[in-house]
Structure 1
Amino acid sequence: MAVDFRFIIIGRGMMGAAAARHLASMADGIALIGPREPEQRKAHHGIFASHYDEARITRTFDGNLTWGSFAARALDRYREIEARSGISFYSEVGCLFAGPPPKDEQDYINRALTVSRTLGSDIETLAPSDLRQRFSYLAVDPDFTGYFERKRAGHINPRALVRAQARLAEQGGVSLIEATATSVRDAGSHVEVMAGGRTYSAERVLVAAGGFSNFNALLPRPVDTRVMARTVAFYEISENEMAIFGDMPSTIVLGDREEDHIYILPPVRYPDGKTYLKLGGDTEMLSFRELENVGAWFRSDGSVAEREHLASIALTLMPALAGCPVTSGPCVANFTPTGYPYAGFTQSPRIAVLTGGNFVAAKSSDELGRLGAVLLTEGALRDSDFGGELTPVFA
């Protein structure tokens, strides 16, 4: 039978929009399906996305070669995407890691330094005294060493990056369908997608719906992921604090365990006209299995207890924040048991999945989208694209 499209991508977030842009240069007959950001978050009862924000850290410094490679490949294309789309989203302010002396060769810092040498990244090591003097806004332990990636690092605006990807995809011939996909079915010779009360058919479908991939019958079988709550704290910054924090790089402070890290985004202006310094962590244990519970979380302000915990850490690390108004917001992280994203076909040879950001994928989203496009067109990923590591695990 004749199909409406050759390929349909479900999910208009960071991975899905990137996949659509890359796919537009590989094939014709493409549709990208996904809803727009709700105007009133707390009154919205549909699908959300974690890219509804203004800042995400980007860097190549990483303790894992696969993730570091994805980030480096994406970073290499940022300026081209900005130039072609006319949308700016990348701030190359650098990224600073600060942490205690490595315990052994398997410590995160030593692994990250090895990855950096492999990728050719320029990392400056700062002795504890140099770290405190150069980045005086940060009050870390006296024995902490700094690792500063000045080039090809900083932060991206995820909202703007998605807009840029979607604009270029549409210019490349992709049909943008503003709707929520509610079911995907392998009909034998093709795939049928129900979205916005209509049915669309395609030869192949890529489900790139992030933490919502297991909902709405989008996959033949659920992928093995944990959708976890994350609370983000926002400090409202005035001109006085900008004199202290205005030139800071993106910053990650490590603890005794890898999951104890705290990430800090430099002051960024948000749509409400105010400037916020943002920070968050990775230790919350609340997880979701039902769509309505995820929606309720996104309509909240996150966890009050976690906000207070983050505020306590923030004032310890950055005493100059004392007196600044602090608020919080919700986010979710989609974790896989492999520690890698999933990019592969499901039990259906016509339905593929791209998901599993593991709380670190924003900086790599353009490369992960490219892999999703390659998967749809070629049917598999090569070893050079770390295809074996990205094999989906199903529940």
Structure 2
Amino acid sequence: MAVDFRFIIIGRGMMGAAAARHLSSMADGIALIGPREPEERKAHHGVFASHYDEARITRTFDGNLAWGTFAARALDRYREIEARSGISFYSEVGCLFAAPEKGEQDYIKRALTVSRTLGSDIETIAPLDLRRRFPYLAVDPDFSGYFERRRAGYINPRALVRAQTRLAEQGGVSLIEATATSVRHTGSHVEVTAGGRSYSAERVLVAAGGFSNFHTLLPRPVDTRVMARTVAFYELGEREMAVFGGMPSTIVLGDREEDHIYILPPVRYPDGKTYLKLGGDTEALSFSQLEDAGAWFRSDGSASERDHLARVALQLMPELAGCPVTSAPCVANFTPTGYPYAGFTQSPRIAVLTGGNFVAAKSSDELGRLGAVLLAEGRLGDQDFGGELTPVFG
């Protein structure tokens, strides 16, 4: 039978929109299915996405070669995407890692090795110089710094998704603003139900992030843990901007994993206010049902986690004292392999792209390209770490 589309991509987030853009240069007959961001988060009872935000750290400094490579490939395309779409999303303000002499040095050593492989320029900053160079950061005297000045900073994930979607549509992709609720392999093609309508395709890529298992989108669920995360926002005034206005993106590795923290530079949000955002690695709540994940996204996150982040923040950045603090929910989608999934399911016509492991925003354009290659060519080669990205199913 004739199908409506050759390829359908489900998920209009950072990976799915990127996959649609890349695939539009490889083939015709493509549809991208996904809802727009809800206007009222706390009144919304459908699916959500963690890219509904204004800032994510981007860097190539990483202790894993695959993740570092994905980030470097994506970063090298940021300016082209901005120029072609007319949408700015990348601020190259640099990224600073700060770490104690004891604790995370194995990670730092691996990251320095990966950086040499990728040709990234990482400046090592001695403890005595760290506080002088970055006076906003009150780390202990035994902390060293690792500063990536170029190919690092932060991206606006909302704007990046808009840019990817605009270029995909310009490339001929049909945008269907609806939530996909069913994907079914019929033998000769795939049937997708979205927004009460049915669409057929030769192949489908499910790129629905943490919501990939919450509808009948896959023949079998992928093995992932969808974990709750809380982020804190410090509202900054003129006094604080004088202190923090020129800071890079910052990641502080503590002696314990629960003390790790990431800090975004001051960013203006849609409400007109400027915030410094931070988050950590603490997680205690996981979701296996759409209703539970939705309830989390409608909340303000965890009050206890917000308080923990605030304590760490004030230790590291005393100048934040007195600033109003708010919080928001997020989710992290973890795989047991530590890698994203990009591969076919039990059906040779249904592929999956998911598993950001809380570090994928910066790499989303490259992960989307891998999803596009997977659909168009049927496999990923070693140069794309295809073996490492094999999905695991529950």
TM-score exceeds 0.5: yes
Cα shift at 1:215:
1.1
SS at 1:266's partner residue?
Answer: coil
Provide the rounded CA distance (Å) in 1 between the counterparts of 2:174 and 2:256.
Answer: 45
Q: Which residue does the alignment assign to 1:375?
A: 374
Q: Which residue does the alignment assign to 2:349?
A: 350
Contact residue 108 and residue 258 of structure 1 kept, 8 A? no
Cα shift at 1:260:
3.7
Cα shift at 1:276:
0.3
Q: Which residue does the alignment assign to 1:174?
A: 173
Q: Which residue does the alignment assign to 1:9?
A: 9
Provide the rounded CA distance (Å) in 1 between the counterparts of 2:288 and 2:7.
Answer: 29
Cα shift at 1:129:
1.1
Q: Which residue does the alignment assign to 2:284?
A: 285
SS at 1:206's partner residue?
Answer: strand
SS at 1:235's partner residue?
Answer: strand
Q: Which residue does the alignment assign to 1:26?
A: 26
Contact residue 103 and residue 256 of structure 2 kept, 8 A? no
Contact residue 267 and residue 275 of structure 1 kept, 8 A? yes
Contact residue 34 and residue 176 of structure 2 kept, 8 A? yes
Provide the rounded CA distance (Å) in 1 between the counterparts of 2:303 and 2:141.
Answer: 31
Cα shift at 1:256:
2.1
SS at 1:21's partner residue?
Answer: helix
The superposition leaves residues 96-132 of structure 1 with CA deviations (integer Å, 9 ceiling, x where unpaired) of 000011569x711000000000000000000011100
Contact residue 102 and residue 109 of structure 1 kept, 8 A? no
The superposition leaves residues 233-254 of structure 1 with CA deviations (integer Å, 9 ceiling, x where unpaired) of 0000011100000000000000
Provide the rounded CA distance (Å) in 1 between the counterparts of 2:103 and 2:135.
Answer: 26
Provide the rounded CA distance (Å) in 1 between the counterparts of 2:257 and 2:387.
Answer: 25
- Does residue 141 (structure 1) correspond to residue 140 (structure 2)? The answer is yes
249-258 or 343-352, which deviates more: 249-258
| Residue identity matched to 1:120 | G
Q: 1:122 to 1:147 in 2, by over 3 A?
A: same
Contact residue 71 and residue 366 of structure 2 kept, 8 A? yes
Matches within 5 A, 1:289-328: 289-328=288-327
- Does residue 44 (structure 1) correspond to residue 49 (structure 2)? The answer is no
Gaps of 5+ in 2: none
Matches within 5 A, 1:155-170: 155-170=154-169
Provide the rounded CA distance (Å) in 2 between the counterparts of 1:141 and 1:17.
Answer: 42
51-60 or 253-262, which deviates more: 253-262
The superposition leaves residues 64-116 of structure 1 with CA deviations (integer Å, 9 ceiling, x where unpaired) of 00000000000000000000000000000000000011569x71100000000
The superposition leaves residues 5-42 of structure 1 with CA deviations (integer Å, 9 ceiling, x where unpaired) of 00000000000000000000000000000000000000
SS at 2:365's partner residue?
Answer: helix
Provide the rounded CA distance (Å) in 1 between the counterparts of 2:273 and 2:186.
Answer: 50
Contact residue 257 and residue 281 of structure 2 kept, 8 A? no
Provide the rounded CA distance (Å) in 1 between the counterparts of 2:133 and 2:22.
Answer: 40
Provide the rounded CA distance (Å) in 2 between the counterparts of 1:8 and 1:215.
Answer: 19
Q: Which residue does the alignment assign to 1:341?
A: 340
Cα shift at 1:259:
5.7
Contact residue 343 and residue 392 of structure 1 kept, 8 A? yes
Provide the rounded CA distance (Å) in 1 between the counterparts of 2:390 and 2:259.
Answer: 28
Contact residue 41 and residue 298 of structure 1 kept, 8 A? yes
Q: Which residue does the alignment assign to 2:208?
A: 209
Provide the rounded CA distance (Å) in 2 between the counterparts of 1:373 and 1:100.
Answer: 41
TM-score (norm 1): 0.99
| Residue identity matched to 1:33 | I
SS at 2:374's partner residue?
Answer: helix
Percent identical among aligned pairs is 88
Q: Which residue does the alignment assign to 1:97?
A: 97
Provide the rounded CA distance (Å) in 1 between the counterparts of 2:129 and 2:118.
Answer: 26
Provide the rounded CA distance (Å) in 2 between the counterparts of 1:259 and 1:359.
Answer: 15
| Residue identity matched to 1:330 | P
TM-score (norm 2): 0.99
SS at 2:264's partner residue?
Answer: strand
Q: Which residue does the alignment assign to 2:75?
A: 75
The superposition leaves residues 279-317 of structure 1 with CA deviations (integer Å, 9 ceiling, x where unpaired) of 000111210011100000000000000000000000000
| Residue identity matched to 1:255 | G
Cα shift at 1:258:
4.8
- Does residue 195 (structure 1) correspond to residue 219 (structure 2)? The answer is no
Q: Which residue does the alignment assign to 1:107?
A: 106
| Residue identity matched to 1:93 | V
Provide the rounded CA distance (Å) in 2 between the counterparts of 1:247 and 1:282.
Answer: 25
- Does residue 273 (structure 1) correspond to residue 260 (structure 2)? The answer is no
Provide the rounded CA distance (Å) in 1 between the counterparts of 2:353 and 2:102.
Answer: 34
Q: Which residue does the alignment assign to 1:132?
A: 131
| Residue identity matched to 2:324 | P
Contact residue 102 and residue 110 of structure 1 kept, 8 A? no
SS at 1:80's partner residue?
Answer: helix
Provide the rounded CA distance (Å) in 2 between the counterparts of 1:389 and 1:256.
Answer: 29
The superposition leaves residues 310-369 of structure 1 with CA deviations (integer Å, 9 ceiling, x where unpaired) of 000000000000000000000000000000000000000000000000000000000000
SS at 1:23's partner residue?
Answer: helix
Q: Which residue does the alignment assign to 1:66?
A: 66
| Residue identity matched to 1:375 | L
Cα shift at 1:257:
4.0
SS at 2:181's partner residue?
Answer: strand
Q: Which residue does the alignment assign to 1:221?
A: 220
Measured on the aligned residues, the alpha-carbon RMSD in Å equals 0.9
Provide the rounded CA distance (Å) in 1 between the counterparts of 2:103 and 2:7.
Answer: 49
- Does residue 86 (structure 1) correspond to residue 89 (structure 2)? The answer is no
| Residue identity matched to 2:31 | A
